[in-house]
Structure 1
Amino acid sequence: MEHASPPTGRPPDVVVLTGADPPPGMAAAERLARVRYVREPGLAEALASADAVFMWDFLSGALAGAWPDGGGPRWVHIASAGVDRLLFPALVDGDAVVTNSRGIFDEPIAEYVLGLVLAFAKDLPGTVRLQGERRWRHRETERITGARALVVGTGPIGRAIGRRLAAAGLRVSGAGRTARAADPDLGTVHPAERLHDALAEADYVVLAAPLTPATHHMIGAAALDRMKPTARLVNVGRGRLVDEDALVAALRDGRIAGAALDVFADEPLPPSSPFWDLPQVIVSPHMSGDAVGWRDELVRLFTDNLARFTAGRPLRNVVDKRIGHLVPDVPGVPAGTGGSTGAPPGAPATHAHPRGRG
């Protein structure tokens, strides 16, 4: 189902779960619908008469507890690429259509990943540290041209990463549910059962997959042991894709050379986390896709979908609630290989970690 039936004879009633700040630039949406802005304590009452929900607070898990018994709004849109906090049984089993914010974050995340690869290869963190210490210490750096990058996750974000890294001269491959020999963006795509073999060949392993039961802790001790001691891990996907204790141990033992982590199992990252102090780790606060203007783009996407909803037209970015992914629309890519943030190696998804970008 690509559309949700709008109410007849009146503008739709739209509830916006705002969090700390309301979304900017909602005037156009307010001309299309009756829009009510609520915080978590008022969500249940507001949903009782709502036709649609805009989950602007994409990190909130309140929708499950507030969902009306026996039904609910016809349409739920989230200001993120991931949808895991929306996929509770009552919503999955009901008639509501779920849409996400695919497409806003793909290129910014790809640029960020390229920046991290360059930071490692050219030791930019070391340069900044030495400058702060007023120390002149010459070093040699690494080339990225010809280095091997494995992108785990073959959805829009993973594809954008693959294109960006290939343009910079890296040899790119992918890992997803379906093996392919000549993917237009990722070259060779390795299937789930060959993930560990693919890890052994990579200089950079980039995680851009959603969180599912199959991908939870996909990078654990066994996977880390297959990586090169010179390899770096970059995670812009979901924190729980990685067994963080196993990663800390591998970094401390020198079994891999470094990690750049934009997502974590618990966020904000606690001050007690060992990741803050490991010199070969780059920590960033879940920001890789949040380029200037991203909030406005999220609102424009929602408003476009609201216009479609009001007119009874098909919605953009409809998520298959049973697997937690969009129906793929990448030319030349078989159905079932794409997703809100990439098809993971493993079984069909039921969850995908929420993100203000994907």
Structure 2
Amino acid sequence: MTVSEKPVVTVLTAPGEDAPPGIEDVKARAEVRFAWDEQTLRDTLPGTDVMMVTDFRTEALEAAWPVADRLQWIHATSAGVDALMFPGLIESDVTVTNARGIFDRGIAEYVAGTMLMFAKDFPQNIRLQQKHQWKHRDTELVHKKRVLVVGAGSIGHQIARLARGIGMEPHGIARKAKTDDPDFEAIHSNEDLFDQLPLADFVVIAAPLTPQTEGLFDQKAFKAMKNSARLINIGRGPIVKTDDLISALDNGEIAGAGLDVFEEEPVPEDHPLWDYENVTMSAHMAGDFIGWKRALTDQFLENFDLWAQGKDRFNLVDKKLGYASK
């Protein structure tokens, strides 16, 4: 690329998806191309310097990868990058950034709302209202309840702040233990997970999907939890073994689950989880707030300007670990 040339940005979208809001600001800085499958990637990747990925179909990108002759950087418009990673990308010199920070507050509010919803028994309130039934019950306090956040990254820290703000006691699980974190009572190492599970009233999965976390919540994990504990998953669906979760609910090994992500998405209409009164489900939307798509473009532009100036970008992903570690 010469000084007079504009850099080339290829935006990978889903077929039929509208261009990201704010794309005109990207076009003011770069030549913008669009791709949505293997053939369009093969057409657009030669000469591309940067990719902005809004749709994560690794198979198409991996198949077209050999023609990416000038690619320096891929930006994923999501916090998780597990679906994007394949050996050719991991082993290449192409850097990857993600959307860390955009969804933190929204997800934390979702988690706080879910914990309060369970404590105050709002699902039953709604069912009784629909039946026009007046039924007084006593409900729980969240004050002094212990929250174990599995994945003490930026989302986990935001969850801990809100949990602390409503009087709860947040503990975290991360690669390294830490006792002086301002948001958590303590952060425990991954190796201490099964020591911490029996102590928690709420267990929140906020970890990325990696080979180490896939299937982490299985029969053994559920048996380790309190019978009165609730599981909340806003991380990735495959971290939880669904069949083991159903067995744990049926056997009373845990008291309920709040699920935003699933092993299979969308969840089939005949899936048994729909009918559990102690399970709440949402359509992988915990972090999506009004205006989030434009916020993702603005974040990309901020990083793009740093890249264009030869400065360090933020949210660099450790491709071996599978997440942004700083």
TM-score higher than 0.5 = yes
1:55 deviates by 0.3
Match of 2:268 in 1: 270
- TM-score under structure 1 length normalisation: 0.87
Contact 1:16 1:36 in 2 (8 A): yes
Alignment pair present for 1:31 and 2:28: yes
* Amino acid aligned to 2:277: P
The equivalent position to 1:124 in structure 2, one of 122, 125, 132, is 122
Compared CA separation, residues 66 and 72, structure 1 to 2 (3 A)? farther
1:1-26 Cα offsets, whole Å, 9 max, x none, are xxxxx764310111111212220121
Report how many residues are paired: 323
Q: 1:173-224: per-residue Cα shift (whole Å, max 9, x none)?
A: 1111112222221221122222111010000000000111111111110110
| Contact map agreement 1:11 1:310 (CA 8 A) in 2 | no
Structure 2: gaps spanning 5 or more residues:
none
Deviation at 1:266, TM superposition (A): 1.1
- Tell me what 1:14 maps to: 9
Structure 2 counterpart of 1:136, which letter? W
Quick one: distance in 1 between partners of 2:273 and 2:57? 23
Question: What runs of 5+ residues in structure 1 fail to find an aligned partner?
Answer: 1-5, 329-358
Query: Whole-Å Cα distance in 1 between the matches of residues 59 and 273 of structure 2?
Result: 26
Residues 281-292 of structure 1: pairs in structure 2 closer than 5 A: 281-292=279-290
Question: What's the CA shift for 1:101?
Answer: 0.7
**Secondary structure at the counterpart of residue 179 of structure 2:** strand
Structure 2: which amino acid aligns with 1:234?
I
Amino acid at match of 2:284: H
Task: Give TM-score scaled by structure 2 length.
Answer: 0.95
Alignment partners' CA distance in 1, 2:54 and 2:134: 48
User: Given that residues 57 and 84 in structure 2 are in contact (C-alpha distance below 8 angstroms), is that contact kept between their aligned partners in structure 1?
Assistant: no
**Against the structure 1 CA distance between its residues 7 and 301, is the aligned structure 2 distance closer, same or farther, given a 3 Å change threshold?**
farther
CA contact (8 A) 1:257 1:280 kept: yes
AA in 1 matched with 2:35: V
Report the Cα offset of residue 314 of structure 1.
1.8
Quote how far apart the aligned CAs of 1:323 are.
1.6
- Distance change in 2, residues 1:12/1:146 (3 Å): same
Q: Which has the higher contact order (CA 8 A, sep 6+)?
A: 1
Deviation at 1:325, TM superposition (A): 2.4
- 1:212 is aligned to 2:210: yes
Report the alpha carbon displacement of residue 49 of structure 1 after superposing the two structures with TM.
Answer: 2.1
Instruction: Tell me which moved more, 60-69 or 243-252.
Output: 60-69
Instruction: Tell me the equivalent position of 1:65.
Output: 63
Find the aligned partners of 1:270 and 1:38 in 2 and give their Cα distance. 29
The partner residue of 1:139 within 137, 140, 156 is 137
1:356 maps to what in 2? Answer: none
Deviations 1:54-81 (A, max 9, x none): 1022466532222125855111111101
| 1:306 maps to 2:304 | yes
Give the whole-Å Cα distance in 1 for the aligned partners of 2:13 and 2:174. 34
